[in-house]
Amino acid sequence: MKLTEREYQIQYWQLKRFSEAHGLKVKTLGNDKLHDYAGMNDEAADDFGMPFPRRTVATQPESWERKYKDLKHELVERRLMEKGWKYFPAHKRALEAEEEDNTSLNRLVS
């Protein structure tokens, strides 16, 4: 079931606050900082050789639906890479997680 933009906005802010409570910084950055990526996290940036602040995830300023899904994607990808996954398998799993309604917040950041 597709959420409304307002519901995505609420989901985004809940996920952002939860992430920050677990020591992650969540930022909104423009394309000039994200180098054409919809989002970025410190673990992926390390793989790409890009300078990026530690324990940080970022998304671009887009619709609430896109911001929520991108934040969720970056958190899943970051967590898997932190556990030792390589970028492409972690990225593929994060793409799947974008559409899942039942992703546990705890699984995303801890």
The confidence band for 41, taking pLDDT boundaries of 50, 70 and 90, is very high
Cα–Cα dist 53/10, whole Å: 26
To 10 degrees, the CA torsion angle through 6, 10, 16, 17? 150
What predicted TM-score, i.e. pTM, was given to this entire model? 0.91
CATH of the domain at 26: 3.30.2010
The confidence band for 100, taking pLDDT boundaries of 50, 70 and 90, is confident
Domain that holds residue 37: 5-109
Return the number of other C-beta atoms located less than 10 Å from residue 63's C-beta: 11
Cα–Cα dist 68/9, whole Å: 7
pLDDT in tens, 87-97: 999 999 999 98
Instruction: Tell me the backbone φ, ψ of residue 18, rounded to 5 degrees.
Output: -60, -45
Q: How many domains does the chain have?
A: 1
